[in-house]
Structure 1
Amino acid sequence: MDPNEERRSMKALKAHFDTLHFVTDSMQGIQERCACGQRLVRERAPAEVFDYLPGKRFFTCKEYKAAVGLCSRGRARFHENEAGKCEEYKSLVVKLEVENQELKAEVEKLLARVSQLEYAHKGGG
């Protein structure tokens, strides 16, 4: 396939999928609740703030900054827990490696014993 034709085809497919994404987003409607669970407040910007778009609409939450703080504290707590789990996993891995070495040594002893028994059984001893 010609590289230019392939590029045009990919761009057309991307545009199609973008359109599908926009349609599905529009079907969901405008979000009514913030991530913190509070209702969103619909506001309009004063003309002096957005002089190129007077009366621009936007949505705010009174508890947004508090919710962001809670999320960051929750994230920090999550990472602390993960670090603790990581140390726990490391210690378990070390224990398993030691146990694995012990089992390998035991298997080698058993194989040597089997060899001795086979030799004795064949009449060599």
Structure 2
Amino acid sequence: MGFRSERQFLVRRRAFSNFLLRIDDGVSHPRAQFASLVQMDPAEERRDRKRQQEYFNMLGNVADSQYGIPRRCPCGGRIIDEVRVKDEYDTLPGKSFFTCINYEADGFHYRQPWVIGVQEMERLRKRVEEAEQAHVKRLTLLLDNLTSDVYNLTVQVADLEKVCFE
């Protein structure tokens, strides 16, 4: 149990680095593999990292914002009503979608089935109606309490007027 020689240390370190490179080859993007071969300057690395971070943030924002009937796409494009034509049926219309005019399958653009958007709107309307009914019940109870308080106060005022003016 002593110190290893420097050569043994370097051989083990090289084997471990090769192992890590094999893992990186399976996981990383081809551009990242090329970037690891060619050293980038620190400013370029920061810009690349910022672009990646913006990409990941945008994916999350787009995924979280796909509720209801979309009005605008996150890319700024307008939403069009698209009907996918079915080849099997000539007489029946295809499935309808709310689609961004600049649609690409990269996760940044909307392409939402029409049925899902309409169902979500109906579900939201139902929730609003239920909330309004609960709010109306609470307001009715509050109004009844205030009416009884006003009646009690008018009775007390009448009693005080009798005592003071008699």
**Structure 2 length-normalised TM:** 0.35
Higher relative contact order (CA 8 A, sep 6+): 2
